[in-house]
Structure 1
Amino acid sequence: MRPLRLLNPVLFAAGLCVLIVSASPACGGSDYVWWEGEDFATSTFPKNNPFSPASLGANAQLLSGGNWLNANGKTGIQPPTASWKIVVPADGDYAFWVRKFWKHGPFKWRFDSMPAGEWRECGPDAALADDTQLKKFVNANWVSLGSVQLPKGARTFQVELILGNGKDWGAGFDCFVLSKGPFTPNGKTRPGVKTGKADDGYFAFEPDSDTFRPDALLDLRFLNEPVAGQNGFLSRHGKDITLGKQPGGDTKPARFWAVNVGLSNATQDRASVDYLARRLAKLGVNMVRFHSPLWSDADPTQIDPKKLDALQYFVAAMKKQGIYTTLSFYFPVWADGQKLGLEGFDGVADKKPFALLYFNPKLQSIHRGWLRQMLTSPNPHAAGTPLGQEPAIGMVEIINEDSLFFWTFSKKSVPAFQWAQLEAIYAQWLTKKYGSTAAAMQAWNGERAPGDAADRPALYEAYHMTAAGVNQGGSGKRKRVGDQVQFLAELQRGFYDTATKYIKNDLKYGGLVVASNWGVADPAMLNATERWTYTAGDVMDSHGYFEADHKGDGSAYSVRVGHTFKDIAPVTVPSLLPLRFQQVADYPQIISEIGFTQPNRYRADAVFLSSAYGALQGVDGMFFFAVGSNYLLDASIQKFQVASPAFVQSFPAAALAYRRGDVTEADPAIHQAVPLPDLWGMKGGFGWSQDALDQFRAKDVPPGAAIAGQVDKIDSLTSYIGPIVRTYGPDASQSAQRDLPRYLNRDAKTIASLTGQLRWDYGKGLAVMDTPCAQGAAGFLAAAGTIATSNVRVAMANDYGTATVVSLDGLPIAQSRKVLVQVMTQDQPTGFRAEGGVVKDLGAAPFGIRKVAGSIELLSAGSGAAAKVTAVDSNGYATAAKVATKPTAGGVRIDLLPDVLYYVITRP
């Protein structure tokens, strides 16, 4: 046995070194017991050490104590065991955690004080509470083992691996902790310990666990209903999503500041789920999108009861904090067509059942079965109320990221047997339209396609439905492709219509249904068609990500040493941002996945821009992808990352301004009427065009006026002027667009909103918001000098960041008695290093935030002498930090502290 590493105070009992550390007051003064995996008393683990400190190089320091107990081997041996000697400081109920090697090495465990023969298990589906990459495919993760009742005194703790038959195995144990107080998983950091580690120019972001005290100066829980759905289901009223019937029978429009979560969040211990719900509400979140499969690994045609139970508890926990849940339960990428029993997948390399849900009866039956089990099973955590009868279920999504118009509509992705089945349905459709397939071929001027049969014309793959594909042939091909597009669109919309009616009529669900959210092979040719199919549901949805030229093996889902990237500020590239929407009239619009991926040091402006320009366009829900740690404190850099401080800690001001509607929704900048025959005629013109302003320059348009008539080109920056709204016919001449050059100057690289509340200089990388209740700026602040809005003067020395001032009481800033000042700069894990755009070191916890420098002046109706300025910590509580202020003729100036992100200003 190696000697235990000791921290004061140290107790010795029964001749054993036992570690008991008194936590800081921030953790409630509770004690914890921590022991290292490698400091075992006994072990039958094989002596091989495949991921020893020597194999990890410098990353060994990411392990607690720089080492761990790990090994691998073949089954057929006795399951390896290990034991440790500890001392429990007092009788009580302890939260128990292990930091281990990912989901590898399922094991059973016990303390000697437990009843004889009682073991508990940590299975291969263990929920990972955080993540630290040690090397490629080797990660250390905290896993909750639940709570355990232990008596005071010397104890023996044992583990035994659970080995599957005929399989290789691997396992690793870094450390264990018993805690009577809050424990926030965050790399190798012990409870209550602040390392203070930060790179030069940064401060360490190491917040205390939030105890949700009532004296918080910044807590947006009040924005949510006391209980989500307390007045009934969400409903659609024209283009708005409204809360259930309010007192008096009125409806109340609502916007949703939301995040994506999954089973990894829902299957955490219940205390962690409750913490996430309360923390999200505090930050201004009022909806989550649960995005995970629920089916059983053993039988994927059936819902797994344990997974469903985790979801049911999760929904109940969110509901208590006024947070709605959207259910996303089917994504073809998660599924295996062969395991689902679908024909044609034997011997096929890609077993993902893309496109099949739209026409395959067996998969449609399985899909309905999932829905039925998910929505009608009694919820034991909500007095038996099933999710389908639960008003806190805001939306149900039919399918995620699939379409008959995307590149996956190909013979590579759809097995030959299934492709033939679809062609048979197509032949029936053609016969109904033309009288026979021969007549259809004649209407196409004899246009032939590979695979044509006399009674069954072949379907083209996705490429042929693009402009390039259509233009490879003459009028006959255009007509033939148009017929195929009409057939596929009616088939896809027909499925959505049938599924929506099943959910609402058969399963009695009272909320909103979302069809899908995917892109198409050629947006200018097919986007309007795709969105038309969604009109069978209640809500228009889309997905969008901004990626900073990230490349390398596995870069689609991970960040690794050796990957290349560029630090690109979203504020400099508006045409590349996922903040441009082509909406459908009288339908709410959401973006259920929006992400600004890592690595990229310039991410803080993304939250500011999402809030401001989502509100300008009247978008009803912004769903950021995705939550990692339930404590919203990630230990390492992740590809899709909400819980890095520059992102999630930017939520409060942005969420408040967005949900309150501080940025006025503009009138449509473009109204586009699209007759359905134009879609089937493959006319295109329904996407972005860089030369769309030319038609304005060629005409004499009075300032503020509009051009009436068909819109066949849409400038890619129009959404930042005002909404783009589309209707489906019947007359394209009913279209109109505003005098766009008045607001958009491509030469100067500036954009102004129709409302006059937003201005954007993307050449300089600066966006400014100026409304009565919310004002501020984002981007390259230092170069801009003093930035003036109606009631705020921002003077930042930081090269890049955001500064936002919002009224907390709903009064205009000039009269508000409680104002939030929020700033943010760059962040990165401590030790993160890149050279020449190549990742050299991923760094580790804690994240650091670049130190803040500058001042903000607030102008008000009277003198600033009576204003009280309080520095607030990341949990919203007042700190003792002294803030230097100076009354000015128009208000008060605040000299920003280097390590403070929030200030609350109160006026008498």
Structure 2
Amino acid sequence: MKRILRLALAVSAALGWAGAGVCAEEWLPVREISLEMRPGSPLDFSAMLPNAKIEPSRRLIANANGRLAYASAPDEPARLSCASLAWSPASGGFPDRANADRYARQLALHGYNLARLHFVDGSLMFGRKTDFDFDPETLDRIHYFLAALKRNGIYWMIDGLSSWRGAYGGHDDRWDPGGTLKLALHLDDGAFAHWKQFTEKFFTRVNPYTGVTPIHDDALALVILVNENNLEFESVVHDRRGKAPYDPMFAAPFNKWLAQRYPSSAALAKAWGSLGWTEKLENGSIRLPPDRYADSPRLRDLQAFFTELETASAAKMSETLRGFGYKGLISTYNNWPTVQAALSRRGLDVVTMNTYHDWANGYAPGSKLLQQSSLGDAANSMRMAAAARWLGKPFVVSEYDHLFWNRYRYEGGLVFPAYAALQGWDALCRHAHGPIALSYGEPYPHKRAMLPYAIALDPVARAGETLSALLFRRGDVATSRLAVPFAVRGEADLSPDMQAREPEKLTELALLGRIGLEAADRIGDRIAVLQPRDANRPEAIVEKLRASRMLPDGNATKLAAGLFQSDTGEIVLNRRDRQLRLTTPATEAVAFASASLPVKLKTLSIDGAEGDGLIAISSLDKPASLAKGSRFLVIFATDARNTDMVFRDRDEKVIEDFGKLPVRIRKGHADLRLDRTARQWQLSPIGLDGSVKPPAASGTGPVAFRLSNDLPSGPTTYFLLEFKGNSP
């Protein structure tokens, strides 16, 4: 018998697991082909979230309070819902004119008012053999699409460089880290000249469809000089077995920098504890650290060197851009939330940050993720981003995602927009090839199935983006009234740990209210996280916030129990139960593990559910009100998979085959009650294209029903709840 069991397990491992609990779960195939939103449907947000004409008075600026705002209304913060456009030939590239108009209009219908163009250099140079020989059709499509976005009131955020190959000809790996251009930019005059020439050729060329150069266009809100250009991060990207951690190009500049800091080899040896027997400061033979993970004074000095180099590099590139006539906002170093990288971002117009929950390491068979809940780690990826912000500067999340195929990604559609709004961030961009698709079944390799770093085909991610438009851009979630600065002294904050970041226990304060970095000499007697960090007790800080009434009486926060309530009272995260509750006048929502139910909010109650998921109800009325409204969008997101997905393990951490279309939604239901009554009410499914289907439930008086995604019209994540009159 044991032999038979071992044989069965071996066969299962060889063939791959069809999925853990496959017998207990049912996956319903999505029937829609068209994903093009129908104007006027409940999912058309263009009237609720209108995009005004982009003109000089509507140019985006950084106001005196460190928020993005329109030039004509500098005192009113502008929240931007961002569409990530990281197109490549594998995902279809930039659309032709007819589809560009359709796509841009669809973005407006979905509530986007900002688009990030990523890897423009890769697209322009794909298949080109000569430096700066932009593909003319691609350039024309980019120009036309920029104009289409502008006509729909959608601003642009564009990378000055994304590809490691830049605009060099003769490379076929433009979306892979195949070159060292991003590292060399900081040191090599030739590499800098290459960046400058690409920037000039792209940004200062007149767009025939707008009549102006992009660099002078009011639609260009923000330029990220180079995507993810931190020196330490780029060095990690280029790590290879048997290769030194730091490129030899840094050795001579590092030695020169050390010689300006230390008068002799003896002084350096005293500071570091020792030097190698062949190392001499006088002849420039000091070695770069041999191990980035072995803490040392050598690594501490390398961080200081990197900070000075990155600061000077950003200033030089910014000055170049200004010399071309650019008057808009500039950022760079948009990832890597370490203490060192934060110092390099101090002088930027805008701080930008990329962050991911449960990062997936590729598309190939054998790619892995951890299958962890973001509520189980108390929204750590959000907190890492929050701790990278500099208070008093606009803050833009240029990339985030809760990645497919993580089974808990329904959490992402509530976690990030809710806390981004609480923090008072300015723009939120969920990373993807593109945030929407016009249909299922497009003939491109990256559109044949759901994949990581691609949300357009994923009903769960799309439901999250729909909710995000309401919570973040519409402003359903209030911004925190408190702010806890994290004191920054400067270079004195660097440690021997190259990877040091703000302590997780301290960043939990982001679940209560706003946090961010601030110069230590500007903090005064405010409640703050001081230096050194290990002298701070988060419990003591919370007690100070309570005593000062910055946390109101009755706030439910208990750090030791993993319970966090925002100062506004609207957001409650229970780490142990894997539950996030949101209660606002316009929207109530819960991301939950089924074992954490029942739950009662102010208007919405969930008595029980089949499986984990996200449920939200939002008013579609003007003004938006759950207490008085009559039309509501209900969102129910569980999980979604491709057909015939195969994993190498029972826990579904390692992918063997991503499968194919159609997408399948995990079957589920929940029992809902509203603290409202109506003379007549009805609940109608909404297709993924916004079309309203025949009612699935109706009644009179008390509003209570079973919400199920197993429907005659096929599974969906959206429902329309309508009241025909309140009961007396």
Conservation of the 8 A alpha-carbon contact between 2:610 and 2:669: yes
> Could you tell me which of 329, 342, 349 is aligned with 1:531?
342
Q: Which amino acid aligns with 1:215?
A: G
Separation in structure 2 between the aligned mates of residue 469 and residue 200 of structure 1, nearest angstrom? 47
**806-815 or 609-618, which moves further after superposition?**
806-815
Q: Which amino acid aligns with 2:643?
A: T
1:570 aligns with 2:388: no
1:858 aligns with 2:674: yes
1:511 aligns with 2:315: no
Conservation of the 8 A alpha-carbon contact between 2:485 and 2:523: no
Residue 331 of structure 1 deviates from its aligned partner by 3.5
1:616 aligns with 2:616: no
Q: Which amino acid aligns with 1:320?
A: R
CA offset digits 1:310-332 (Å, max 9, x no partner): 22222122222222221124246
CA offset digits 1:548-595 (Å, max 9, x no partner): 7x6xxxxx22053x5565543333232543454112110122221112
Distance 1:305 1:794, change over 3 A: same
Q: Which amino acid aligns with 1:375?
A: F
Look up the match of 2:665: 849
Structure 1 unmatched ranges of 5 or more: 1-134, 136-197, 341-348, 471-477, 551-555, 693-713
Provide the secondary structure at the position in 1 that maps to 2:672: strand
Q: Which amino acid aligns with 1:216?
A: S
Residue 390 of structure 1 deviates from its aligned partner by 1.6
Separation in structure 1 between the aligned mates of residue 244 and residue 496 of structure 2, nearest angstrom? 25
Equivalent positions of 1:831-846 (< 5 A) are 831-834=644-647, 836-837=650-651, 839=655, 841-846=657-662
Residue 749 of structure 1 deviates from its aligned partner by 2.8
Residue 496 of structure 1 deviates from its aligned partner by 0.8
Residue 719 of structure 1 deviates from its aligned partner by 1.9
Separation in structure 1 between the aligned mates of residue 355 and residue 369 of structure 2, nearest angstrom? 19
Look up the match of 1:495: 313
Distance 1:445 1:687, change over 3 A: closer
> Could you tell me which of 85, 99, 104 is aligned with 1:277?
104
> Could you tell me which of 356, 376, 386 is aligned with 1:545?
356
1:206 aligns with 2:31: yes
CA offset digits 1:869-899 (Å, max 9, x no partner): 44332222322234233421xxx23442433
Conservation of the 8 A alpha-carbon contact between 1:774 and 1:813: yes
Q: Which amino acid aligns with 1:547?
A: D
Separation in structure 2 between the aligned mates of residue 459 and residue 273 of structure 1, nearest angstrom? 52
Separation in structure 2 between the aligned mates of residue 238 and residue 632 of structure 1, nearest angstrom? 43
1:745 aligns with 2:558: yes
Look up the match of 2:451: 638
Q: Which amino acid aligns with 1:469?
A: D
> Could you tell me which of 353, 358, 370 is aligned with 2:181?
353
Separation in structure 2 between the aligned mates of residue 842 and residue 352 of structure 1, nearest angstrom? 31
Conservation of the 8 A alpha-carbon contact between 1:722 and 1:754: yes
> Could you tell me which of 775, 778, 781 is aligned with 2:591?
778
Conservation of the 8 A alpha-carbon contact between 2:678 and 2:723: no
CA offset digits 1:200-221 (Å, max 9, x no partner): 7333223253565543233112
Look up the match of 2:45: 220
Look up the match of 1:485: 303
Separation in structure 2 between the aligned mates of residue 577 and residue 413 of structure 1, nearest angstrom? 26
Look up the match of 1:720: 511
Look up the match of 1:736: 528
Equivalent positions of 1:880-891 (< 5 A) are 880-888=694-702
Conservation of the 8 A alpha-carbon contact between 1:228 and 1:392: yes
CA offset digits 1:664-719 (Å, max 9, x no partner): 222445322211252367699973436x5xxxxxxxxxxxxxxxxxxxxx2x4232
Conservation of the 8 A alpha-carbon contact between 1:273 and 1:314: yes
Separation in structure 2 between the aligned mates of residue 689 and residue 231 of structure 1, nearest angstrom? 42
Q: Which amino acid aligns with 2:217?
A: E
1:558 aligns with 2:363: yes
Distance 1:211 1:836, change over 3 A: closer
Normalising by structure 2, what TM-score? 0.79
Count of aligned pairs between the two proteins = 643
1:394 aligns with 2:221: yes
Look up the match of 1:97: none
Residue 288 of structure 1 deviates from its aligned partner by 2.1
1:368 aligns with 2:172: no
> Could you tell me which of 561, 567, 578 is aligned with 1:765?
578
Structure 2 unmatched ranges of 5 or more: 1-14, 16-22, 172-176, 441-446, 530-539, 544-554, 710-714
Structure holding more helix per residue: 2
Conservation of the 8 A alpha-carbon contact between 2:133 and 2:169: no
Distance 1:814 1:207, change over 3 A: same
Q: Which amino acid aligns with 2:34?
A: S
1:813 aligns with 2:619: no
Q: Which amino acid aligns with 2:461?
A: F
CA offset digits 1:437-477 (Å, max 9, x no partner): 6696487488435654514363633846x6x422xxxxxxx
CA offset digits 1:115-143 (Å, max 9, x no partner): xxxxxxxxxxxxxxxxxxxx9xxxxxxxx
Provide the secondary structure at the position in 2 that maps to 1:649: helix
Provide the secondary structure at the position in 1 that maps to 2:628: coil
Distance 1:442 1:852, change over 3 A: closer
Look up the match of 1:822: 635
CA offset digits 1:489-519 (Å, max 9, x no partner): 122112112212222x312223211122131
Residue 758 of structure 1 deviates from its aligned partner by 0.9
CA offset digits 1:289-329 (Å, max 9, x no partner): 11114253323356544433222222122222222221124
CA offset digits 1:749-794 (Å, max 9, x no partner): 32222221111122121111011111110122x3233321111122
Residue 545 of structure 1 deviates from its aligned partner by 1.6
Separation in structure 1 between the aligned mates of residue 580 and residue 291 of structure 2, nearest angstrom? 38
CA offset digits 1:71-126 (Å, max 9, x no partner): xxxxxxxxxxxxxxxxxxxxxxxxxxxxxxxxxxxxxxxxxxxxxxxxxxxxxxxx
Distance 1:566 1:584, change over 3 A: closer
1:670 aligns with 2:461: no
Q: Which amino acid aligns with 1:535?
A: R
Q: Which amino acid aligns with 1:760?
A: L
Look up the match of 1:158: none
1:379 aligns with 2:184: no
Q: Which amino acid aligns with 1:528?
A: V
Residue 336 of structure 1 deviates from its aligned partner by 9.4
Provide the secondary structure at the position in 1 that maps to 2:46: helix
Distance 1:728 1:779, change over 3 A: same
Separation in structure 2 between the aligned mates of residue 448 and residue 576 of structure 1, nearest angstrom? 39
Q: Which amino acid aligns with 2:334?
A: N
Conservation of the 8 A alpha-carbon contact between 2:617 and 2:635: yes
CA offset digits 1:14-38 (Å, max 9, x no partner): xxxxxxxxxxxxxxxxxxxxxxxxx
Mark the structure with the bigger radius of gyration.
Answer: 1
> Could you tell me which of 796, 799, 804 is aligned with 2:616?
804
Conservation of the 8 A alpha-carbon contact between 2:116 and 2:158: yes
Conservation of the 8 A alpha-carbon contact between 2:61 and 2:328: yes
Provide the secondary structure at the position in 2 that maps to 1:859: strand
Structure holding more strand per residue: 1
Provide the secondary structure at the position in 1 that maps to 2:354: strand
Separation in structure 1 between the aligned mates of residue 320 and residue 706 of structure 2, nearest angstrom? 59
Conservation of the 8 A alpha-carbon contact between 1:616 and 1:723: yes
Highest RCO, 1 vs 2 (Cα 8 Å, sep ≥ 6): 2
Conservation of the 8 A alpha-carbon contact between 2:132 and 2:168: no
1:234 aligns with 2:38: no
Conservation of the 8 A alpha-carbon contact between 1:597 and 1:639: yes
> Could you tell me which of 607, 611, 615 is aligned with 1:795?
607
Separation in structure 1 between the aligned mates of residue 563 and residue 267 of structure 2, nearest angstrom? 51
Conservation of the 8 A alpha-carbon contact between 2:254 and 2:302: no
Q: Which amino acid aligns with 2:664?
A: G
Equivalent positions of 1:396-411 (< 5 A) are 396-406=223-233, 408=235
Residue 398 of structure 1 deviates from its aligned partner by 0.8
Conservation of the 8 A alpha-carbon contact between 2:97 and 2:141: no
